Amino acid sequence: MPSTKIAGIGFYVPEKVVTNFDLMRHMDTTDEWIQERSGIVERRYVERHEETTASIGAKAARIAIERAGITKEEVDFIVFATLSPDYFFPGCGVLMQRELGITHTEIGALDIRNQCSGFVYGLTVADQFVRSGMYKNVLLVGAEVHSMGLDFTTRGRNVSVLFGDGAGAVVLQPTDEPGQGILTSKLHSDGTHAEQLALICPGAHGGYHAKKMGMDVDFGFDENLEFGELFVTQKMLDDAMTYPVMDGQLVFKTAVTKFPEVIREVLDDQGLSVADIDLFIPHQANLRISQFVQRKLGLPDGKVWNNIQRYGNTTAATIPIALCEAWEAGKVKKGDLVCIAAFGSGFTWAASLIRW
Ligand code: UT7
């Protein structure tokens, strides 16, 4: 059975740079607070209504396709990971297919909704398709446009300062070269804290989960309706419920435990140790989380790639953007062992080992 290699990689970040000082004009925050707590100095935002998650995904994809040495017509499957889709449905996979001008229908498109771990989950799904021989050129994209959906008032500052827009893409192909490609992946989930990092409204829940969890929250649903549901109520809009919510401290504490656990799990699976890792690319949620994990594993600075300082947290896109930057900088060479790992909403977390 062949294994799966990354044959081409690309990324795109919008041109518009938004600094912490720019955000200070909209909310009560400081450059010092943001840098001290998260390491973020600036992030990128799309030109409103001119770029979307699918369109920036396509920009990254074109680069990955060219670097893989194939034509867009040769892509036989698309996996698109995002939490900020252009539409509720259909997913960004088909929108990006159209954007890329792939008009033949001998192709499938799948959207992955695993937030911060979306890229690692997507990689694992794509890996199965390639290994089984079902597809030969899988285009995997992680892309986000957060800037259209954050609360830029002081009320939303704990979340909005952290996120940025961007996209990363890889083309995955089979390889028969012994020991090359994706060696292993481990995926985890725990729904206990689903609402602690979430965008709850709009949705079709009708308050079900809140009632079940004993939460005291009124979404403003019209209980007199005979059928159906209102996705968006006036109360949701008035009370700013249509923005993401996050218990930052819980997420932080859980992340610093789960990252090292899942990294050790993939290493153990392959009989490898931390010293064998040539490059570690953590999901860019917070520079403090990445540094904590690095220290816990005992990895030197030269073996970890962080770029949250420049792009903020681009959720499903952080790992492919960072991997591409590191590759372009000559930090990933043939034969290197690359470890990628992510933790986030769900909670879900995951890691993969890739022999380049
Ligand atoms: O990929 C997504 C996964 N997300 C994460 O991994 C995020 C994990 N969590 C974190 O990164 C951190 O918890 C944050 C950076 C979000 C927050 O840092 P913290 O040290 O946990 O701060 P905190 O939430 O405990 O808030 C401390 C104070 C509060 O004020 P009081 O109550 O002490 O007066 C907040 O209101 O900081 C205040 N605060 C802010 N101040 C200035 C919250 N956000 C801001 C802000 N600017 N942007």
Tell me how far the alpha carbon of residue 250 lies from the centroid of ligand 1, in angstroms. 11
Q: Give the active site residue among 114, 137, 286, 313.
A: 313
pLDDT digits (tens, 9 = 90+) for 58-69: 999 999 999 999
Show the tokens assigned to 186: 């481990």
Tell me: domain 3-175, CATH 1.20.1600.10, correct? no
Rounded to whole angstroms, the Cα distance separating 25 from 149 reads: 18
Mean pLDDT of 49-78: 98
Rounded to whole angstroms, the Cα distance separating 308 from 230 reads: 37
Tell me how far the alpha carbon of residue 158 lies from the centroid of ligand 1, in angstroms. 5
- Closest by CA to 323, choosing from 260, 278, 281, is 281
Q: In what order do the strands lie in the sheet with 337-344?
A: 181-189, 348-355, 337-344, 279-282
Mean pLDDT of 142-162: 97
Rounded to whole angstroms, the Cα distance separating 344 from 198 reads: 10
> 231 pLDDT band (50/70/90 cuts)?
confident
- The ligand 1 atom nearest the CA atom of 29: 47
Tell me how far the alpha carbon of residue 73 lies from the centroid of ligand 1, in angstroms. 46
Mean pLDDT of 90-99: 98
Residues 170, 9 contacting (CB under 8 angstroms): yes
Q: Give the active site residue among 137, 283, 286, 339.
A: 283
- The pLDDT of residue 155 is 96
Catalytic residue check, 116: yes
Residues 110, 80 contacting (CB under 8 angstroms): yes
- The pLDDT of residue 162 is 98
**How far, CA to CA in Å, does 154 sit from each of 161, 207, 240?**
10, 26, 12
Which residue's C-alpha comes closest to atom 35 of ligand 1? 158
**How far, CA to CA in Å, does 110 sit from each of 76, 264, 314, 341?**
12, 30, 20, 22
Rounded to whole angstroms, the Cα distance separating 11 from 278 reads: 21
pTM of the full structure: 0.97
Tell me how far the alpha carbon of residue 13 lies from the centroid of ligand 1, in angstroms. 25
Q: What is the DSSP secondary-structure string of 204-260?
A: S-TTHHHHHTT--------TT-SS---SS-HHHHHTTTTS-EE-HHHHHHHHHHHHH
- The ligand 1 atom nearest the CA atom of 285: 1
Residues 114, 343 contacting (CB under 8 angstroms): no
Answer whether residue 189 shows pLDDT above 90. yes
Catalytic residue check, 209: no
Residues 111, 85 contacting (CB under 8 angstroms): yes
- The ligand 1 atom nearest the CA atom of 286: 11
Spell out which residues line ligand 1, taking CB within 6 angstroms.
29, 33-34, 37-38, 116, 157-158, 161, 197, 248-249, 251-252, 255, 285-286, 289, 313, 344
Catalytic residue check, 283: yes
| DSSP-based three-state secondary structure for 349 | strand
Answer whether residue 230 shows pLDDT above 80. no
Cis peptide before 119 (omega within 30 of 0): no
Rg of the chain in Å (alpha carbons) = 20
Tell me how far the alpha carbon of residue 189 lies from the centroid of ligand 1, in angstroms. 24
Domain spans, the chain: 3-175
